Chains A and B, each alone.
Chain A
Amino acid sequence: MFETYLPVFLMIGVASAVALGMFLATTLAGPKKPSPEKNLPYESGSNTTGANHIRLSVKFYLTAILFVVFDIEAVFLYPWGGMFRDLGWFGFVEMLLFLVILGVTLVYAWKKGALEWEK
C-alpha cells in the first residue's frame, strides 16, 4: 500500500518544500519598505475605488448559468468523439440532432435577450 503511493507522497513533500522555501526566502532576504501606496490591493495598476464587498449584478449569474448549461453539454461530445468511427452515420445524425436542439435553445436565449449585457 505505502510503496504504491510513495511517489505521490514524495511529490507532495517536494512541492510543499519548494513553495515554503520560496516564501520564506523572499520574506527573510527581501528589503522591506512599506508605504500606504504599496499596501493597496493590486487592481491591474489602476486606482482602487469603493469597498470590496460590492453586490454583483444579477446579470453575472445569468451569464454564468448559461455558460455552465451549455458547457456541460460538451460532456456528451467527448465519448462520441472517441467512438466516432464505430458509431458511423447513425451516431453522426444522432449527434447532429442533439446539436440542432442545443442550437435552437441558444437562438431562444439570444432572442429573449439573455445574452445582452445592456438592455
Chain B
Amino acid sequence: MEITLGTFLALGAILFGIGAIGFLVRRNVLIQLMSIELMLNAVNVVLVAVNRYHPDNHAGQIFAFFVIAVAAAEAAVGLAIVIGLFRLKKSVSAADANLMKH
C-alpha cells in the first residue's frame, strides 16, 4: 500500500467522523467534550499531513499549534460549565439540561 496525502486525509476524515458521531449519540457531557477534542485532533492530522506534502511554508504546522492551545482553553471553559451543571443538577448528562424547550 502506498501512503499518500489521500491516506492521511482519509484518516483525518475517519477520526473526525468518529468524533462527530460520538458527539451526536452520547448524552454524557464529558464524553461529548472528548469527542470534540477528537474532532480537533483529526483536523491536526490533516493540517500536519498536508504541510508534509507541501512544505513551501509552515502554515499547517503553525495552525496545528494554535489548535492545540485553543483546544486546551476550550476544555477549561467546558469543564467549568460542566462543574456548574453538576453543582445544580448532580448530573453530567446533557439530557438533564432540559428546562427550556425549543
Q: A–B direct touch, CB within 8 Å, in complex?
A: yes
Chain B residues whose CB sits within 8 angstroms of the CB of A69 once the complex forms? 72-73, 76
Q: Residue on A with the closest CB to B77?
A: A65
CB contacts under 8 Å to A, within B5-35, are none
B68 touching A75, Cβ below 8 Å: yes
Main secondary structure of the interface of B (DSSP, over half): helix
Residues of A within 8 A of B (CB): 1, 58, 61, 65, 68-69, 71-73, 75-76, 79
Known: A68-B72, A72-B72. A79 touches B83 (CB 8 A): no
Q: Tell me whether B72 and A76 are in contact (CB under 8 A).
A: no
Contact B83 A58 (CB under 8 A): yes
- Asked whether any CB of chain A lies closer than 8 Å to the CB of B100, the reply is no
| CB within 8 Å of A: which B66-84 residues | 68-69, 72-73, 75-76, 79-80, 83
A residues in contact with B2, CB < 8 Å: 1
Verify B76–A76 contact, CB threshold 8 A.
no
Residues of chain A contacted by B79 (CB below 8 angstroms): 61, 65
22 residue pairs from A and B, CB less than 8 Å apart: A1-B2, A61-B79, A61-B83, A65-B75, A65-B76, A65-B80, A68-B72, A68-B75, A68-B76, A69-B73, A69-B76, A72-B68, A72-B69, A72-B72, A72-B73, A73-B69, A75-B65, A75-B69, A76-B65, A76-B69, A79-B62, A79-B65
